Amino acid sequence: MNRPELNSFKTWTEQKDKSVVFTFGRFNPPTIGHEKLIRKVISQAKGNNYRIYVSQSSDPQRNPLEYKEKVQLMRKMFPKFGRNIIFNKKIINVFNILVDLYDQGFREVTMVVGSDRVPEFKKLMGQYNGKKARHGFYDFKVINTVSAGDRDPDADDVSGMSASKMRAAAKAGDLDSFSKGLPKSFGDKVGVFNLIRKRMGLKEMVNFRKHIDLGSQSELREKYISGEIFNSGDLVVCIRTGTKFYISERKSSYVTDEHNTKYWIKDLIEVRQDPDIKDKKGTQPAKYFAKGAKGKEMSKSTKSKRDAHFKKGAAKSDDDPSAYKPAPGDAGAKTKPSKHTKKFKQMFGEKVKYMNMAQLKKELKKEYGSKASSLKIVKVKGGVSIQTPGGQELERYNNVP
């Protein structure tokens, strides 16, 4: 018997044998559990006709992958069975499958499903056999329903390696657990992982660290598990206590410092470090290395000189005027002047640009993001002090009346 040809994604057009074995599943996403199901279909067919039909259901949570994506993915994941994985947009449910197979000339049909769904489909398929209905007509001589020998791999509980467990792993950013549900021979695990996240409305992930199980995802947690914020070695401030420290270890939903003190990520603000000189000893806040108020880039060499200048000035007495000399790159920059700088400008008549309270809050929003609303703005002599809820001063603005 010559091997039938598959025209692109179309179904088989003509069959000589009268019996066929098939399965119908969501495959969202395809897993090693589904591979076991397919192999059961093949063994049941005993060298004869078999079909793998894919559901067209689509929604962000339970069915994130689109129909065509699933078929293409399954053909790549299970290449030996690719020609028998059917793509036909007219087939939406099991009744459409039965009508289509009957129209192709088959008179004996066997459906393979998870053990927990055998009774359901046995009753469903037999109910309309020989009866014309909205879905069409089929009249098989034999209709069998066979167990795949295990639970349905499409089931929505999380026991075993289910599609539900795979989706949960993708949502949580857990590539390690997700990969365990794919065939070892399949190479593009990250691609499938990110495709599912994209269809769920989540950001794709590039940097993968050891999985941290966070349960439901907020925007902050999403950034945390993807490694965008609060990594080991980062300098942060706890707004609840005012403590500034370097992160030693990342945990489930908190970090620890060198003394193993626990800090919840919801209470943290990151002191952003300049990437060009972040390897230098001490903290290198990025705001000190921007060319202007809008944060344009300063050359790397200027940043290094500026870093050395700050360290030299820090070692001098507060009463030493040389400690307040302009740093390299200060020309034309709109900085937040200290009281010494302000006094200098007042003495020599240099014009100082002031900002009102609304502008200040806008500036804080840019610098601290969502945490800005929890900060205290305290009026002090000559300006305002920006403090944590605990009273720890983060910085001072001397150009706010």
- Phi (first) and psi of residue 103, to 5 degrees: -65, -25
How far is residue 398's CA from residue 401's CA, in Å, rounded to a whole number?
8
Which pair of structure tokens corresponds to residue 59?
């929604």
C-beta contacts of 222-229 below 8 A and 24+ residues apart: 222/173, 224/250, 224/253, 224/265, 225/172, 225/173, 226/173, 229/265, 229/270
Which pair of structure tokens corresponds to residue 294?
């809008």
Q: Are 60 and 201 in contact (CB under 8 A)?
A: yes
How far is residue 53's CA from residue 50's CA, in Å, rounded to a whole number?
10
Which pair of structure tokens corresponds to residue 273?
């470090």
Q: Are 177 and 195 in contact (CB under 8 A)?
A: no
Contacts of 274 (CB under 8 A, 6+ apart): 284, 285, 286, 288, 289, 303
How far is residue 257's CA from residue 212's CA, in Å, rounded to a whole number?
18
Beta pairing, strands 249-250 & 254-256: antiparallel
On the CB side of 231, CA atoms within 13 Å amount to 11
3 state SS of 287: helix
How far is residue 154's CA from residue 254's CA, in Å, rounded to a whole number?
34
DSSP-assigned letter for residue 281: S
Count of other CB atoms within 10 angstroms of residue 17: 13
Question: Which amino acid appears at position 231 of this protein?
Answer: N
pLDDT tens by residue, 223-250:
888 788 888 888 888 877 778 888 988 8
The predicted structure's pLDDT at residue 318? 41
pLDDT tens by residue, 28-59:
999 998 998 999 999 999 989 999 999 999 99
The predicted structure's pLDDT at residue 289? 45
DSSP-assigned letter for residue 71: H
Question: Which amino acid appears at position 52 of this protein?
Answer: I
Q: Are 277 and 303 in contact (CB under 8 A)?
A: yes
The predicted structure's pLDDT at residue 9? 44
How far is residue 56's CA from residue 92's CA, in Å, rounded to a whole number?
6
Whether CATH 1.20.1290.10 fits 19-147: no
Kindly give the parts of the chain with pLDDT less than 70: 1-17, 150-161, 206-218, 272-354, 370, 382, 399-401
Sign of the torsion angle spanned by Cα atoms 115, 120, 122, 124: negative
How far is residue 30's CA from residue 367's CA, in Å, rounded to a whole number?
44
Q: Are 99 and 137 in contact (CB under 8 A)?
A: yes
Ranges of each domain in the chain: 19-147, 336-401
- pTM for the full model? 0.49
- Helices 189-199 and 163-171: angle between axes, nearest 10 degrees: 80
